[in-house]
Amino acid sequence: MARFMVEGGFPLRGRVMASGAKNAVLPLMAAAVLAAGEYRLVGVPRLADVEVMAEILRRLGVKVREEREGDLRCLCLDTRTMREWRIHEFLMRGLRSSIFLLGPLLGRMGEATVSFPGGCAIGPRPVDLHLQALRALGAKLDESHGCIHAQAAALTGGEVVLSYPSVGATETAIMAAVLARGETVLRGAAREPEIVDLQNFFNGLGARIRGAGTTVIRITGVERLHSMGQHCVISDRIEAGTYLLAGAISGGEVQVDGARADHLRAFLHKLVRAGVVIRENEAGITVEGTRRLQGVTLKTGPYPGFPTDLQPQISVLAALAEGESRITETVFENRLGHWNELRKLGARVLLKDRTALVAGGQLRGAKVAADDLRGGAALILAGLAAAGETVVEGSGHIDRGYENLEGKLGSLGARIRREVDEVGKLASG
């Protein structure tokens, strides 16, 4: 396995560029499957999850080609040669987000077979809302032996009411409705910026979607989509928030270019409450950390609430702040696991149900292990602020969502390096 070695205590200073959003790119790659054509995504981050999704598309018969446009990495997807509609279990296991392919495969091929995506460290991750949305549009679904088999001679528009604003289920409903016959009204939709990005991608290809970013999305089915298109991916608000926190907790000054303050309002509000100075500018957002961080009280929630994907990271600020913090996770069942590792660094916390009651203080370097993507990012942040050296095992989790982490942090003055052990060297060939 590979690990990160972090030497703490150095204030970070400088600028980094936010990459394209992982949680926009993954549904966009799935969405391209819906129509036969050539689609170019601009600003695609080099992430493990994106590479796995690209491999799944290749096995479905899609040609995937990488190009450069200046500093930006582009993926060209030629979906005209698609022939397969089954995604084999070992591919599904590799990437939970492959459930996003169910709707487009059904819309394109009239049939789709996927295995139930595995749960993960933060919770069981059910897909009942995805299946409910597809049934409401006329799909016939059988679930057996851990697989979902979907059939629909032709999807027909209808009303979908989500009991919870699930991001993925909202995206599945949109992707199934774009070519369905007639009108679809999606109520209780998630409002994340990545859903607005998906709407913009599809509308650029001739789809008729309105309302993304609100709780009611209306889709008028169209006969077909354009066979060529290009789309610039929005910047990654979670990556941006992670680097802004790195500047804040290290007592430095960091500018994240490409960060959109309008996508981070709830998060930035909590940073200001913690005593961090925030400056929005044309290029992005600058934070000025302070040695005297104040504790925060927050509850995560669906967008525009405080993002669950930044909850582990802001927990580190709480562990360092003066005074008490109260952090409640309402989106996922089991997303406080990073505290077990933060305690090894000296964090003082009482966990009660889904709430962490934190007494801030000092952190000291230790050996810790990442168990999921954002929890791993939190451990890196903690290492930046802890006295001495912190070893973060399980870099593979972190590589799923952060492009060139050590390069970007290193350019800000962080003392961080990646170490691959003998097993890791053998595995990487």
Residues annotated as catalytic are: 120
Total residues at interface with ligand EPZ (CB under 6 A): 24
Q: Please tell me whether residue 23 binds ligand EPZ under the rule CB under 6 A.
A: yes
Q: Please tell me whether residue 308 binds ligand EPZ under the rule CB under 6 A.
A: yes
Nearer CB in complex with ligand EPZ: 11/376: 376
Q: Please tell me whether residue 408 binds ligand EPZ under the rule CB under 6 A.
A: no
Nearer CB in complex with ligand EPZ: 198/366: 198
Report CA torsion sign: 29, 33, 34, 35.
positive
Instruction: Tell me the closest approach of the beta carbon of residue 168 to ligand EPZ, in angstroms.
Output: 3
Piece of 21-29, 281-289, 403-411, 416-424 that binds ligand EPZ (CB under 6 A)? 21-29
Residues 108-147 that bind ligand EPZ (CB under 6 A): 123, 125-130
Judging by beta carbons within 10 Å of its beta carbon (0-12, 13-18, 19+), is residue 272 exposed, middle or buried?
Answer: exposed
Piece of 19-27, 106-114, 260-268, 419-427 that binds ligand EPZ (CB under 6 A)? 19-27
Q: Which two tokens stand for residue 318?
A: 């709480």
Give the separation between CA 19 and CA 239, rounded to whole angstroms: 8
Q: Which of 45, 104, 383, 401 binds ligand EPZ (CB under 6 A)?
A: 401
Nearer CB in complex with ligand EPZ: 13/299: 299
Give the separation between CA 318 and CA 360, rounded to whole angstroms: 6
Residues 268-287 that bind ligand EPZ (CB under 6 A): none
Nearest residue to ligand EPZ, by Cβ distance, number only: 168
Nearer CB in complex with ligand EPZ: 23/390: 23
Nearer CB in complex with ligand EPZ: 126/323: 126
List contacts with ligand EPZ (CB under 6 A).
22-23, 26, 97, 123, 125-130, 164, 166-169, 190, 308-309, 331-332, 373-374, 401
